[in-house]
Amino acid sequence: MEYKIAILISGNGSNMLNILDACKKREIKSKVLTVVSNNPNSKGLEKAKVFGVNCKVINSKKFKNQYDFENSISLHLKEFNINLICLAGFMKILSKNFVNKWKKKIINIHPSLLPAFKGLNTHDRAIRMNVRYSGCTVHYVNNKLDSGEILDQEVVRVLSSDNENSLKKKILMKEHKLYIKVLKKLEKLE
């Protein structure tokens, strides 16, 4: 199946760029039709524009409540007939209402081997806990933080010489490969 993808970002969008690049090179059949950021200062938006993709800021701070913010996102996505939402550094927790509306149509990449280190500061926590392995996970988004069905994972060995920054870089390289691998897998399933 060829997905009509929306990518939601808040920051630099390195995973977003990776997905856009995979589409351009036809590594995946799906197409990114829009990139949405809740942050008007997101550097990823300028990068996405280079690919000629529709970009939209839906600033979460301009809405009275989360429902109105998320409804605005849904309305925008419906204009493009989106059937897969890829979260790529989207730093807002989505409500139960939004997740239910887009059930099994939202995937996220998380920089740990879930269920370990849910939430923020994953690399720092992995270093402090002296784990030997960390990695990244692509999962469906459900109503609980970083708890949805796991689609795939990539493992990274944590060396004694690693610090938070070096671990982050190693995992990010794996994230880029994993997201594309999962998208290819999903295309074959439908």
The angle formed by the CA atoms of residues 5, 9 and 45, to the nearest 5 degrees, is 90
* Bridge partner residues of 57 (DSSP): 37
DSSP string computed for 2-54:
--EEEEEESS--HHHHHHHHHHHTTSSS-EEEEEEES-TT-HHHHHHHTTT-E
Cα separation, 112 vs 109, in Å, equals 9
Q: Which two tokens stand for residue 64?
A: 């009275």
Sheet holding 106-110, edge to edge: 54-57, 31-37, 4-9, 84-87, 106-110, 133-140, 150-157
Active site residues: 110
Residue 156 contacts residue 174 (beta carbons within 8 Å): yes
* AA identity, residue 181: K
